[in-house]
Amino acid sequence: MIRIGTRKSTLALWQANEVKNKLETFGHSCKLVHIESSGDQDLTQPLYAMGIQGIFTKNLDTALLNNTVDIAVHSLKDVPTKLPKGIKINALLPRGNANDLIVYSPKFKSWETQTTIGSGSLRRKAQWLRKYPHHKVENLRGNLPKRMERLKNSDWSGAIFAQAGLERIGLLTENYEILNWMIPAPAQGIIGITTLENNSSLKKSLQKINCKETASCAQIERSFLSTIEGGCTAPIGAIAKIREEIIHFKGGLFSLDGKIAFTIEEEINIKEAKGYGEKAALKILKEGGKELMKQIKPKL
C-alpha cells in the first residue's frame, strides 16, 4: 500500500488522485493521507510576509520524514529549490498549462481606468503593475474556490490565477483572458512527487509515471530561480518549452513595483540544457539583477 500525502484543498486532492490513478494503473494499491499545511492555516497574511520557504510543503516533508506517508504530491512551483535533507523529487507528471490568466469580475469596465485586481503573488503583482502602473493590487489568498468567491464579492475588476489550477477543478469560466505576456512561476502547471532518498523500492514505480521532458524544463526553471536566490517570494518568472530538440526559455526578475525588469529570452539546442538555467540566471544577475535582489530582500 502506497500512502500518498496531500494537502486538503480541492486542487491538491485532484493532483493527488491523478498520481493515485496513474500508480494504480501499474498495479499498485494506494490511499490518500490528508496533511494540513501552514499556508492553508493562515489565509490572511500575504505569502511573502510569512517569512518561510516551503510554506505549503513543510508539513508534508515532516510526514515523509516521520514515515507517516510514502510519497508527497505537490504543485511543484510551491516546492523550495533546496529540499530538506533526506528528501528528493522522484517524479513529475506531464506539465499542464503553464499560463497565468485574469478572471474578470462582473464589475469590470476597462483597464484604462484606475482599478484594483486581486493576487497573492509578488511575481504577478510586479508584472501587472509594470503593464498597468495606475492600478492597485490587493492580497488574495486561500484555495481556488475561496479566491473565486472573494473575487465575486469584491469591488475588484479581476483576479489573477494559474490556468492549470482552474482547469483541473472545473472553475475556468468564459469570463477570462490568458496573460501571454506574463512570465509564469518556475514549474507552474507541474505536479511533483517527493519521497525519501533512501526509499529505493518506489523508485522504479515512480519512474514509470515520470515525464522526462517536463523534468528537463523544470530543472532549468528551478535552477534559474535557485541561482537568483528568489526562493518562493521574490518576483521571479521562468518558463522553458521544448520543441523539436530546441529549448525556448524566457525568464525575468522584477522590482516589487514592476518599474525595473531584467529579462532574458533565448533558444538553445537541447544538448546544451545541462547548466543552462544557472547560466541564464547569471546573465540576469550580471546585468543588474544582483543589485536589485539586494534592494528587494530587506522589503520581504
pLDDT at 54: 61
pLDDT of 26 over the 50 cut: yes
Average pLDDT over residues 16-37: 94
- Residue-wise pLDDT for 280-295, tens only, equals 999 999 999 999 999 9
Question: Burial letters for 76-97: b for 16+ Cβ neighbours within 10 Å, e otherwise?
Answer: bbbbbbeeeeebebbbbbebbb
pTM of the model: 0.91
- Residue-wise pLDDT for 59-72, tens only, equals 999 999 999 999 99
Question: Residues of the chain with pLDDT > 90: what percent?
Answer: 82
The owner of cell 517524479 is 91
Confidence of residue 46 (pLDDT cuts 50, 70, 90): very low
pLDDT at 41: 44
pLDDT of 58 over the 80 cut: yes
pLDDT of 43 over the 50 cut: no
pLDDT at 298: 83
pLDDT at 52: 42
Pairing of strands 116-118, 158-162: parallel
Minimal CA–CA distance to 93: which of 187, 8, 169? 187
pLDDT of 151 over the 90 cut: yes
Total H helices, total E strands in the chain: 10, 13
> Alpha-carbon distance 86 to 84, whole Å?
6
Query: Active-site residues: which are they?
Result: 78
Task: Give the phi and the psi of residue 5 in degrees, each rounded to 5.
Answer: -80, 135
Task: Give the phi and the psi of residue 261 in degrees, each rounded to 5.
Answer: -145, 135
Mean pLDDT lowest among 38-52, 169-183, 265-279: 38-52
- Residue-wise pLDDT for 242-261, tens only, equals 999 999 999 999 999 999 99
The owner of cell 525588469 is 261
- Residue-wise pLDDT for 29-42, tens only, equals 999 999 976 544 44
- Residue-wise pLDDT for 194-224, tens only, equals 999 988 889 889 999 999 999 999 999 999 9
Helices (H), the chain: 10-25, 38-41, 58-65, 122-131, 144-152, 163-168, 203-208, 212-228, 276-284, 290-296
**DSSP conformation class of 16:** H
Domains of the chain: 2-93+190-210 (3.40.190.10), 100-178 (3.40.190.10), 226-299 (3.30.160.40)
> Alpha-carbon distance 168 to 10, whole Å?
10
pLDDT at 300: 73
> Alpha-carbon distance 73 to 68, whole Å?
14
pLDDT of 19 over the 60 cut: yes
pLDDT of 55 over the 80 cut: no
Q: Do 128 and 156 form a contact (C-beta atoms < 8 A)?
A: no
Angle, CA of 261, 263 and 266, to the nearest 5°: 170
